[in-house]
Amino acid sequence: MQKALLIDPEKCTSCLQCELACSFEQEGVFNPAKSRIKVFEFEHGLKAIPYTCTQCSEAWCLHACPVEAITINEATGAKEVNPNTCVGCKVCTIACPFGTINYNADSGKVIKCDLCSGDPACAKACPTDAITYVDANWTGYDRMQEMALVGHGRPAKGAAQ
């Protein structure tokens, strides 16, 4: 059973533990600016929405990549960037309509959430269960993905991977 990150913004207190955990896991530094999950604050931090790649089934990033640098991890379902193949052209960053794959000027490549190979650091770090790692067919997750996809024209179903 594949699992997915379920985000419940109502539980988020914008403590930014997820951003710190992500940047440490992925980049080896505690620096929210290098996190692949981002907490967006509203009304001066009274409300917040943590946000990252939903590993969407359309995988716009993957299909737009000119050199097959983004592939699907069969075990986790995550769309992963291979930094050795990525040329840093950034086409994926404009193709993903959610803005969740981003250019990292330090490495000259792009970075995105890869579910930490199936053990996401953000979910472990979140003290309020605003981020949990759950079975992907859990209806709450479907609902979240639906919300993120509001109105997006779906491309060819079952298209090539």
Ligand X SMILES: Cc1cc2nc3c(=O)[nH]c(=O)nc-3n(C[C@H](O)[C@H](O)[C@H](O)COP(=O)(O)OP(=O)(O)OC[C@H]3O[C@@H](n4cnc5c(N)ncnc54)[C@H](O)[C@@H]3O)c2cc1C
111 binds ligand SF4 (CB under 6 A): no
Q: Which residues bind another protein (CB under 8 A)?
A: 9-10, 38, 40, 42-43, 47, 49, 51, 60, 63-64, 66-68, 85, 87-91, 93-103, 105, 108, 144, 147-153, 155-161
The CA distance from 77 to 66, in Å, is: 21
Asked if 134 interacts with ligand X (CB under 6 A), we say no
Tell me how far apart the alpha carbons of residues 20 and 53 are, in angstroms, rounded to a whole number: 17
Q: Using CB distances below 5 to 8 A depending on partner kind, what does residue 53 bind out of ligand X, another protein, ligand SF4, none?
A: ligand SF4
CB 61 within 8 A of CB 74: no
The Cα 36–Cα 71 span in angstroms is 18
How many residues bind ligand SF4 (CB under 6 A)? The answer is 27
Q: Which of residues 38-97 bind ligand SF4 (CB under 6 A)?
A: 53-56, 59-61, 64-65, 67, 69-70, 79, 81, 86-92, 96
Residue closer to another protein by CB (options 1, 156) is: 156
Q: Tell me if residue 75 falls in helix, strand or coil.
A: coil
Tokens representing residue 13 in the block:
């207190």
Q: Which of residues 64-103 bind ligand X (CB under 6 A)?
A: 89, 91
